[in-house]
A and B are shown apart, each in its own frame.
Chain A
Amino acid sequence: MILSNIGFLSLLFGLISSFIVFLCTVLNIKKNSLNLEKKIYKFLTLQFFFVIIGFFILLYSFLISDFSNETVYNNSHSTKPVFYKVTGLWGNHEGSLLLWLLVLTSFMLFFFLSSKNEPKNFRLYTVIFHQIIVIGFFIFVLKTSNPFDILFPIPSEGLGLNPILQDPALAIHPPILYVGYVGTSIIFASALAAMVTGYVNNIWAKNLKKWVLISWTFLTGGILLGSIWAYYELGWGGFWFWDPVENISLMPWLSLTALLHCISTLEKRDLLKNWSIILSIVTFMLSVTGTFLVRSGILNSVHTFANDPSRGIYILIFLFVIIFVSFIIFLIFESKNLENKKEIFFLSKETSVLINNWFMIYFLSVVLIGTVYPIFLDVITSEKISVGPPFYHKLLIPFLVPFFLFMSVGPSMSWIKTNLKFKISYVYYFLFTLILTIITIYFLSQKDILIKILIFSLVFLTIKTIVNFLKKNTNHAQNLSHLGFAMLMLSILFNAVTSTETIKNIKVGESFISKNDKITFEEIKTNEKKNYSSIIGTFEIKNVNDKIIKLYPEIRIYNQPVIATSEAAIKTTLFKDRFITINLIKDEQLFNVRYQNKPFMIWIWISTLIIIFGGAFAIFNKKKNYS
């Protein structure tokens, strides 16, 4: 109990430090005192220190199962494995916001330490704008979601963590995702500061790019972990459902990707100033909007913990303040950062970046409309609708073909002007692509013309990207990520057109046929564990070549809270995943069995990892003098 009080106080002190930093900077920014920077540094460290204390106190409370703390009581249980006691900290609303604060303050400190070579005023303004966000989140935590609320009398046992969150991939998903999300706050603050101080130029772009890369890489990683989790834990056998909660992580990713390309143009050519600023602001807005939509309980999903309307309203107000402030700053200081009057030649890297950005913004708009429109319709007409995959597929897939083609040639363009000369190698590329496409289509036995064209453009993209690796003076980070992306799209496409599934309700001892496999339900066992008991089925899968695989899907019944989950049994090989889930229906002897054959599943994860490697490579790569 005393611990929780210390935790709360330490967060309060953290807030006070933020106010001191904010006021100090605002009041002294015109004066040219040397002490100011030292003072800011001191208080930023202090602020970070206080958040760390709060974080560790909460962590400790989780570890010793201190149920006098309401957050611990609501989300933990003494029989829970230690690992999930730790991750239970951010498996709930209050704790996850504390984690958010921790990342937020540590990033500010990191920014302040790593930006010593940049203009003083720019740094100070970044501190000011960032502290507005920090203060906003501090008040949000303390006022609406205090992780240190005390319960009296002290309950003897906690309520436990939702079992579907008790999973390794999901345990590290929030921290990774948060680094991505919170990184955009630095981008945002830095963009506004650069605007105010007239520092929107290639040097700023060069320094900001690092932050864009960090956010982008971690966001990609966070989305990947979430997808993997959805794949094996939710038991639907898919990895992306166009669920609103997935969409709101995709939206900042799309705008970050646009920004990443656009900021390179600013870095190399000192062009697209306003656009870079707008993208920086939009990216952060989308991150906060995501938080708002999830936390307010408007969207229902595993991410929605306890719904509390006051939280939603607070974030909404906060969001409007930020939008308003950035809009005003943009209008006032736009003239300070005049766009260079350079003509953009149509065959140049600048054009390809612009085309990339147009596509990204289009994809972003589609996802945004699909996600937000049902909410508006509900508010206005109280008509309940949901927008499903067909909407996104119809609007996105046809545009992927030109997107892939532009992506194939874009990286080979030079800055300023590309001299296009006819080379015999173009013919080779074309023929090679055509042959490979025909072979692929033959193996997939595809009739759909759109899929054929998609395969063609993707094969072309892959070949062009691989060839880029061999060129001199090439950007390997970019090549890696582009190759990863091409492979990802190919794997998704192959997976989508060749997956098969069979769903049957059968008893033990029965069997059924799914395409080339014969699945036999052999036996059933029960198993008692500390925090759950489970029913484990044994399935034998025999394919045409008489190869036998055994799979053991589970139904787990957790004791705290009492929830049943299906644990999928997956046999992964390089070429395909076999995926089985079982479910009880109405305590009868019949089990609901779902068998899926999912080719190239593992390549979806591998190629996303390659994308991430590309990002990481770019962060750590010191020499960046690519053409």
Chain B
Amino acid sequence: MYGKKVRLRIIFVISILTTIILSVYIVLKLLEDDVVYFKSPTEIKQSSESITKKIRVGGMVKKNSITVDNQKVLFIITDFKNEINVIFVGTVPNLFQEEKGVVAEGVLEDRNLFIADKILAKHDENYMPPEVKKSLEQK
């Protein structure tokens, strides 16, 4: 029906298209596994299913909540409505202080305990992560 050249070209175009679609699909699938969602303490309390994936929790460090020992730092993240206990092992950024904004990354042990492996560095003492700002404003 078609010439050999035309057929070759059609096969070429189709194979390119399928490769592109397939690779975009794989990329997005992978993205699904590796993205880290941001939650506020209230969202964690209210979530119906338990969250097992790595997440970020943001809010304010509660007043008088930081305790330190040789291995770890304990503190409480609050959004003034709900709060969550955090156990953290690692380097604290310079601007990690009580009553300042904080974002911690890690996994949930249960709804009241968060095991953080990273506290995100802030560069400015007046800086509030947009996520935290938003979730605090919603209150």
- Which residues from chain A sit less than 8 Å from chain B, CB to CB? 162, 164, 234-236, 300-302, 365-366, 369-370, 373-374, 383-388, 390-391, 394-395, 503-506, 555, 561-566, 581, 583, 585-586, 588, 590, 592, 594
Contact = CB atoms under 8 A, between A and B. Distances in A.
A616 B135 CA distance: 50
B129 A300 contact: yes
Classify the interface of chain B: helix, strand, loop or mixed. Answer: loop
B97 to A, nearest CB: 8
B34 A391 contact: yes
Contact of A394 (B34, B35, B69): B34
Interface residues on B, range: 20 to 34
B27 interface: yes
B34 A583 contact: no
B98 A395 contact: no
A307 to B, nearest CB: 9
Contacts of A395: 27, 30
Contacts of B70: 504-506, 590
Contacts of A565: 94
A590 B38 CA distance: 30
B1 interface: no
B103 to A, nearest CB: 10
Contact of A300 (B89, B92, B94, B130): B130
Interface stretch (B3-11, B77-85, B106-114, B117-125): B117-125
A95 to B, nearest CB: 18
Given A302-B123, A563-B125, A503 B34 contact: no
B98 A386 contact: no
Given A583-B91, A583-B93, A583-B94, A592 B73 contact: yes
For A164, A234, A370, A505, the residue with the greatest tally of chain B CB atoms inside 10 Å of its CB is A505
B56 interface: yes
Contacts, number: 97
Interface of B: 27-28, 30-31, 34-38, 56, 66, 68-73, 89-98, 121, 123-125, 129-131
B27 A566 contact: no
Nearest to B91: A594
B91 A592 contact: yes
A581 B36 CA distance: 27
Nearest to A512: B70
B121 A386 contact: no
Contact of B27 (A236, A366, A562, A586): A366
A586 B36 CA distance: 28
Contacts of A581: 91
A583 B91 CA distance: 8
Given A235-B91, A391-B30, A585-B92, A505 B71 contact: yes
A565 B95 CA distance: 8
Contacts of B28: 369
Closest 3 CB pairs of A and B: A384-B38, A391-B34, A385-B35
A505 B70 CA distance: 4
A193 to B, nearest CB: 31
Given A387-B34, A390-B34, A592-B92, A563 B124 contact: yes
